[in-house]
Amino acid sequence: MSETKRIKTALVSVYHKEGLDEIITKLHEEGVEFLSTGGTRQFIESLGYPCKAVEDLTTYPSILGGRVKTLHPKVFGGILCRRGLEQDMQQIEKYEIPEIDLVIVDLYPFEATVASGADEPTIIEKIDIGGISLIRAAAKNYNDVVIIASQAQYQPFRDMLMEHGATTSLEERRWFAKEAFSVSSHYDSAIFNYFDGEEGSAFRCSANNQKTLRYGENPHQKGHFYGNLEAMFDQIHGKEISYNNLLDINAAVDLIDEFEETTFAVLKHNNACGLASRPTVLEAWNDALAGDPVSAFGGVLITNGVIDKDAAEEINKIFFEVIIAPDYDVDALEILGQKKNRIILVRKPAALPKKQFRSLLNGVLVQDRDLNIEKPEDLKTATTKAPTAQEIEDMLFANKIVKNSKSNAIVLAKGKQLLASGVGQTSRVDALKQAIEKAKNFGFDLKGAVMASDAFFPFPDCVEIAGNEGVTAVIQPGGSIKDQLSFDYCNEHGIAMVTTGIRHFKH
């Protein structure tokens, strides 16, 4: 069997026609005959090229409101017949079935229709039957047939035609078949997930747009990202984004989305090492950096405000890997862009998925994204002493940070500024001691500060340590059968404690 095949007949039936004209023109120049349906046939004929109707081949019209057009042995026989198998060739000759060497087809926009909020009957009509069947048939028979399964393959197919005309190698046909099965599997996953809704009866996740990273978490590991980063960010400067950069960027986005007022955060290894909310980006930056100017070295910076020249001049004084903002003034970009490898990202208003998953052992864990952001009315005062308005504001501020810190986590804050945190510790006492030591090292006075914990206090030890350092209010989830011990200690020593009823563990 020869690996090189010449295209003589093409079946073309597409929803998206942009970019198709050059392909049709080149195929016509190569002597390829066309077979098509409805609007695609009219499109080909509008270019001035003859095109045979599928209805003339099958002797059946398009029926059932267009649901059945190409589903016929004379179409699928022409695609699936094995040219090197004598029995197949005898049968297509007997039944007057033409060989079809190229199939160009795409699918109804099911995902876009669901995303538009259309009603169910409209969505159901966007489940493609003929198209998906043509794709699978042509891809299965890649030994003899070329399949172009989506508009994304128009360009590589056009390049192939321009390079060596209407002939294809086995390697090229197999590549297009692989791409076709990627299209069909993604499509079927989207349909299943629509029908499955919130049941989670099976795990089906499909992501396109593979991006090969320099390496994974370590240089000896391969790494890839699947998804559309361009929908979330415009990278306007710097080196290629790495695997570890992406982990930090994800953590930074999750954290900054907790805040509505102007806020600046500095992250290192997925945890905030500095964060402050202030009237201006410059003030927020200065106070965020003050939280831990040592850890900020080589970190990831993010703000929800526009970075101006004054802020950029201060930010530019330290070394950092990535900066993310919704926008930058022109003169600010000139300053920040002075470092060649510095990654500068403009964040776009893209929606994030509501589900999170990770692979482990021989399966996958799936959960809802933690979207709960506590408000004053969600807090339950557990002590005789009620917190002041300022303490409530600071506790809610600290709670947002602890929610996005690795457990076990403790956050100390005052005046909507992160003073210090203890993260990723096996003991909550160790987390608190780490936070206190850091705060003192950077000259913070903990008198009047608040403490946030990502879990309850079954013993009053942490409350006692924090109280001795001047902490006046504590926020914690509550729920321990020994909570009363901590409440009693706070009552005895004039510390206000509130509970939220919601834990924010983060591993």
Catalytic residue annotation: 140, 269
Spatial CB neighbours of 23, under 8 Å, sequence gap ≥ 6: 104, 154, 157, 158, 161
Token pair for 13: 């039936």
Beta strands in 271-314 (DSSP E): 271-277, 299-303
Describe the crossing of helices 483-493 and 461-468 by its angle, rounded to 10 degrees: 20
Specify which residues 210 forms β-bridges with: 226
Q: CA–CA separation, 348 vs 276, rounded Å?
A: 22
Q: CA–CA separation, 303 vs 263, rounded Å?
A: 6
Strand order in the sheet with 52-53: 52-53, 33-36, 9-13, 102-105, 146-148
How far CA 160 is from CA of 30, 91, 134, 209, 261, in Å, comes to 13, 32, 22, 21, 53
Token pair for 360: 């482990």
Q: Counting runs of H as helices and runs of E as strands, what totals does the chain give?
A: 19, 23
**Cβ neighbours of 469 (radius 10 Å):** 17
Q: CA–CA separation, 463 vs 474, rounded Å?
A: 8
Q: Could you write out the DSSP letters of every residue in 410-447? A: EEEESSSBEEEEE-S-SSHHHHHHHHHHHHHHTT---T
Q: CA–CA separation, 316 vs 305, rounded Å?
A: 17
